[in-house]
Structure 1
């Protein structure tokens, strides 16, 4: 049995549980955002060697929890284009991470994300882009995932750009992140970064994560009008872009 005493005896463990509940709440409502909450908080509390694999495991749990509903509401035909394109874009992002200064890369990605948010807020589209747009969004998602560990913004903005309902956007994003989380976990297992200790710690956090996700789902079902959903989604993605520019 892995030794979890360094985590359980840490006075900051309750704070980690609080972040996990918040991440579940955001993800349960919007279909995304859990990584944006957990990535900086878990890295701060436990360091990236524990924080990154723990984040992926917890994100995978949320995706599995939301999968039954997502299979009913998600735009599966578009996902068949987005997911392979993301796999193709991933090594490009890893290459960019190797050849570009980290600060320049981070700020470039953040600036592009913010520009897309501003354009969408000022001039929203009525129809979702076609196959070409899906290929571009999927490839960009793979690139940003490889370069920064953040796969979400390109695909989130892709689904927000059309006339999709909140339920369709939420379900589509849940299925997309299920795919990317599985790929990420497999990769971490191959390189030996996903340990039994991290897996055991994730098990301890599953219940608070599930509670937060359930609360977020209840809030979504009670009041997610298209305007409210899109507004909150753009605020979340925009906040990530701002953080990428100033941190």
Structure 2
């Protein structure tokens, strides 16, 4: 493992290492504070260095630190009747998304990722919410969209975030729902990545390097959730995500 880690590090230049470490730190802070948003930072940043087919599996493993730290409390606070149909929909379409991740041209996919993130930032920052009472099948459909996006571009959170923020649930319940949903979707993603042969030695080595940095940043972000101004932090997070997506387009 140490030999692989050394070989991987020496293959990266200073700028690439800075991008990886900086993105991991910032994404961890955002994840710890809000419970979501890290993929919108990690995927375009990691894709600049490795390409999406390597970046997305790395992100899924690195984010384990965030999931394990936030999951116990979220499991107690979430609404399982809301989480279950979305998880079902995501599980059905996520493998198709992973297939697209494997077969679509990586440069084209990187552009799709960046443009999708910019669009999502505009929608989420505008305050738009889904306000019609959802049916069970509509919930499954939203989950399916999230699964397809999660498998193909590594971003499963925004569709369900917009969906749940449009309801009447308390912020604590919405945050818990999102954390539990992303944890369950990650398990499905791992199975699909394994079947697709995406868990390479490079992916595993980089995950071992980056996960501890991410875990510390999540801890700091979670502590900040108690004291920081949520509105100010969300604006800052949206700004960071937008800048990273733009830089990815130029990369």
Say if 2:127 is the partner of 1:121. Answer: yes
Say if 2:207 is the partner of 1:207. Answer: no
Say if 2:87 is the partner of 1:86. Answer: no
**CA drift at 1:203:** 1.9
Match of 1:187 among 171, 187, 192: 192
User: Residues 19-57 of structure 1, C-alpha deviation per residue, up to 9 Å, x if partnerless?
Assistant: 211111111111111111111111212333432221111
Find the counterpart in structure 2 of residue 135 from structure 1.
140
Match of 1:56 among 55, 60, 63: 60
TM-score scaled by length of structure 2 = 0.76
Seen in structure 2, the aligned counterparts of structure 1 residues 60 and 236 have a Cα distance that, compared at 3 Å, is farther
Retained in 2: the 8 A contact 1:23–1:209?
yes
Which runs of structure 1 show a deviation greater than 6 angstroms over 4 or more consecutive aligned residues?
Answer: 94-99, 103-108, 125-128
Retained in 2: the 8 A contact 1:128–1:161?
no
Retained in 2: the 8 A contact 1:22–1:212?
yes
Say if 2:24 is the partner of 1:20. Answer: yes
Seen in structure 2, the aligned counterparts of structure 1 residues 134 and 224 have a Cα distance that, compared at 3 Å, is farther
**CA drift at 1:187:** 1.5
Find the counterpart in structure 2 of residue 198 from structure 1.
203
- CA distance in 2 between partners of 1:23 and 1:115 (Å): 19
SS of 2:63 mapped into structure 1? helix
Q: How does 1:1-247 map to 2 (within 5 A)?
A: 1=1, 3-9=4-10, 10-12=12-14, 13-90=17-94, 113=120, 117=124, 121=127, 129-223=134-228, 232=235, 235=238, 239=242
- Alignment RMSD (CA, Å): 3.9
Gaps of 5+ in 1: none
User: Residues 100-137 of structure 1, C-alpha deviation per residue, up to 9 Å, x if partnerless?
Assistant: xx68977996797478547x726x56787453442231
User: Residues 171-199 of structure 1, C-alpha deviation per residue, up to 9 Å, x if partnerless?
Assistant: 21111111121111222222222124422
Q: Structure 1 residues 56-65 or 9-18, which shifts more?
A: 9-18
Seen in structure 2, the aligned counterparts of structure 1 residues 235 and 20 have a Cα distance that, compared at 3 Å, is closer
Retained in 1: the 8 A contact 2:90–2:144?
yes
- CA distance in 2 between partners of 1:92 and 1:8 (Å): 32
- CA distance in 2 between partners of 1:125 and 1:40 (Å): 27
Gaps of 5+ in 2: none
| Equivalences, count | 243
